[in-house]
Chains A and B, each alone.
Chain A
């Protein structure tokens, strides 16, 4: 990055990204806008931020916005990028929900939203299945995956305590397991 990117440019770019993003394929959009078109960030730097954003808590796109904003303008840049990416869609989703509330009594509208929800389950399941495919084929990671799915998904246990117990365990065991070793 040659010159300092002005905050107003960061806000403009991220407002556009937020409003153009549908259904979660947002990192590709960000890559095109930030790395390819505006050349604000190198590819390797971008991918490093993406990887971190995907594993850390927080919506991936929110984390990626923070990362890019921070690289460009420090804390102010991070706050500007996140707010610009989130606020316009937030207003829009509230307007949509209010609109829906006023017409949900219409039977076919109600039915159509049910269909949209069913299709959206596929989106979530696809993300989950692809994440599962990338999990290491070793006993411990596979057991952690299965335990979480079983307790929270199948048995309906509350998520917070299960995750609080299994996450530190999973990290500690990953720390001890040598890379590429079959346990």
Chain B
């Protein structure tokens, strides 16, 4: 197979994911992991590290796409992956949002909401599982993931930064 240009590869991966990120950024985690494995862009561990950095930094978690682009093709890759991820969905959203309020309560609005909700939920749960398999490589890390899920379900208003920091500290203490 001919070697694909990395910048072109980023476009091919992120433009479709942008348009299919139904329900938000977390819904394409599985898709991103998929593409990275198929194109051998980086190791699973590198991917998990980038996922952690994107979640711990301010801004939406899908800045993961920016980091993947950077890892694959430097700053040009970061810029291109970001554009490929944010531009298509933004144009689509903009086109629909302008017509949204006028049609509030219309049948197509309701069908769209009800039809997309289970897709979004399924995708985000699938993404969680995919990252869990890639990232929870030993018992301590698995326990941290389980504990953080339980704590955040119990206290949804808790600042997630504390949970992330506690996860980092716990992993160092537990060793491995």
Say what secondary structure dominates the interface of chain B.
helix
Inter-chain contact A58/B57, CB cutoff 8 Å: no
Inter-chain contact A121/B67, CB cutoff 8 Å: no
Interface stretch, picked from A1-9, A31-39, A126-134, is: A126-134
Q: CB of B6 within 8 A of chain A?
A: no
Q: CB of B63 within 8 A of chain A?
A: yes
Inter-chain contact A152/B126, CB cutoff 8 Å: yes
Inter-chain contact A122/B58, CB cutoff 8 Å: no
Inter-chain contact A89/B141, CB cutoff 8 Å: no
CA distance A136 to B113 in the complex (A): 11
Q: Which residues of B have CB within 8 Å of A164?
A: 20
A-facing mask of B14-38, CB < 8 A → 1, else 0? 0011111111111011110010001
CA distance A24 to B157 in the complex (A): 11
B-facing mask of A25-64, CB < 8 A → 1, else 0? 1100000000000000000010011011111111111110
Contact of B117 among A134, A156, A160 (CB under 8 A): A134
CA distance A119 to B44 in the complex (A): 17
Inter-chain contact A167/B70, CB cutoff 8 Å: no
List chain A positions with a Cβ less than 8 A from chain B.
18-26, 45, 48-49, 51-63, 66-67, 70, 75, 78, 82, 85-86, 88-90, 92-94, 96-97, 100, 104, 108, 111-132, 134-136, 141-142, 144-149, 152-154, 156, 158-160, 163-164, 166-167, 170-175, 177, 179
List 10 A-B pairs, Cβ < 8 Å: A49-B97, A58-B93, A66-B93, A126-B153, A134-B117, A144-B119, A152-B123, A156-B34, A166-B119, A167-B22
